[in-house]
Structures are given as structure tokens and as C-alpha cells.
Amino acid sequence: MRLRHSVLALLVLLSACTPPLKMESAWLPGARPGQPYSKVLVVAVSEDFDRRRVFENRLASELAAGGTTGIPSTRTMLSTDVLDREAVAALVKATGAEAVLVTRLAYEDVDVKQNRGREVLKMENPSAERSREDPYFYNVYTYDYSVSAEPPSLEIERDITVTTDLFETREGKRIHTIRSKVRITSSENLDQNTDVAVMDDVATGLARQLRRDRAVR
């Protein structure tokens, strides 16, 4: 259970709206416990300690809503502490956790498109004048025009897959896995509020799927 790979930089996401989330889950053969777990250590693998803490706290909160005690690893670990197997084992012993939930980045594909700038001509305040030219009458319309420039922009599309593995603590074996897939379309303008919204959606989806699979209460 090596935890050295970076993960939740992925959930530092830039979109203008919350993207749809798809999840696939499976038990490993013969690994389903007799009862759902009631106390789970929550670990997010990330080089960004603050975002790791936000995600772990959110997921722990979602687990608590269903009656499972979720224990964020960042509750006791410092930003300078190394997140490895030994550190997780020490947390399990200290907290009495029955299982460990580890979330990490599995796949990310980024496609960047550049949109050219353009000028937009807008017609404003039309007015009509009656004019005479023998032998016909006709209307002559006059308009005010405004021209606005739309600057070039970048559109970034990200396909991201996050894996969440559940380990039982007696032997440290992986028993259950969830793959969360999300596509984010964003611009050059970063939206920190959206970052948090995406992390919230993933945490909510994970807790719901774990309850559906009877992995937790």
C-alpha cells in the first residue's frame, strides 16, 4: 500500500460549472465483510496538504452522515510528515480504525484548445425617417453600431480518473475499489470555489457508493 504518488492536484479543478461524475465499484473476490465498517481512516494522497485536508474532512463528514466514523489522516499528521505505509499503520493503531480508505489519481488526460479572438458588430437604436424621391416613397432606416472585441482564449478539457481503495486493517489487504471518472471543461480563469465544489461532489459520490455497496454504514 505505497502512498507516494500524487493525487488530489486533480481535484484542483477549474471549470465554470460542476461536472457530471461517473463511478464504478467492485469487491475483490471473497473480500466482502460480514458487516459494513463503522470506523474508517480516510487518506487522500496529495502533495498539496491543504487540499488533502479539505478533501479528507469532506469525505469524513459524508461518511458520518450515514453513521460511519471517518477519521481524516490530516487530523493528526503534519504537512511535514511523510505519508507512507508505516505512517498509516501508526494511525490505524492510534485510532482503532477497522478499515483504511485511500484516494489517489489514476489517470489524467488534458486537451488544450485555443479559440481565436473576434470582433462582434452590434446594431443599436434603430430609427426610421420618411424620405421622398419621385415618384416613390420609402423608409430610410439609420442605426447606431458598436464594435466589441472578444480576445483569444484557451479551453482546457480534462478527463480524470480517481481510484479509491478500501483496505481492511487486520492483514492490510485491499478488498474494495471505486473508480471515479469526471470530465472538466475550463478556461484560463481559475475558480477556487469550483475547485471546492468538485471535491465536494467526489466526496459525496464516494460516500454514497460505499453505502450502496454496504462497505460502510
Query: Does 77 share its domain with 119?
Result: no
Query: Does 126 share its domain with 208?
Result: no
Give the global pTM. 0.73
* CA 29 – CA 27 distance, rounded (Å): 6
Query: Does 74 share its domain with 165?
Result: yes
What are the pLDDT digits (tens) for 166-195? Answer: 999 999 999 999 999 988 887 654 455 556
pLDDT at 8 over 90: no
**Inter-residue contact 13 to 158 (CB < 8 Å):** yes
Domain tally, the chain: 2
Asked, for residue 37, whether it belongs to a domain, the answer is yes
Q: Which domain holds residue 123?
A: 115-150
Query: Does 73 share its domain with 139?
Result: no
* pLDDT for 195: 65
| Burial class (CB within 10 angstroms; exposed 0-12, middle 13-18, buried 19+) of 1 | middle
How many helices and strands in the chain, by DSSP H and E? Answer: 3, 8
pLDDT band at 127 (very low <50, low <70, confident <90, very high): low
Query: Does 107 share its domain with 132?
Result: no
Query: Does 56 share its domain with 87?
Result: yes
| Burial class (CB within 10 angstroms; exposed 0-12, middle 13-18, buried 19+) of 49 | middle
* CA 212 – CA 27 distance, rounded (Å): 12
Task: Please name the residue that has the C-alpha cell 477556487.
Answer: 192
Query: Does 38 share its domain with 86?
Result: yes
Distances 118 to 67, 151, 197 between C-alpha atoms, Å: 55, 7, 32
Return the C-alpha cell found at 149.
472585441
Query: Does 35 share its domain with 120?
Result: no
Q: By C-alpha distance, which of 114, 125, 36, 46 is closest to 83?
A: 46
DSSP code for 37: B
Asked, for residue 95, whether it belongs to a domain, the answer is yes
Query: Does 132 share its domain with 70?
Result: no
Asked, for residue 2, whether it belongs to a domain, the answer is no
User: What DSSP line would sit under 100-153, residue for residue?
Assistant: EEEEEEEEEEEEEEEEPPEEEEEEEEEEEEEEEETTEEEEEEEEEEEEEEEPPE
* CA 98 – CA 34 distance, rounded (Å): 13
Query: Does 128 share its domain with 41?
Result: no
pLDDT band at 144 (very low <50, low <70, confident <90, very high): low
Beta-bridged to residue 157, according to DSSP, are 111, 185
Asked, for residue 3, whether it belongs to a domain, the answer is no
**CA quadruple 74, 27, 8, 111: dihedral, nearest 10:** 180
pLDDT band at 197 (very low <50, low <70, confident <90, very high): confident
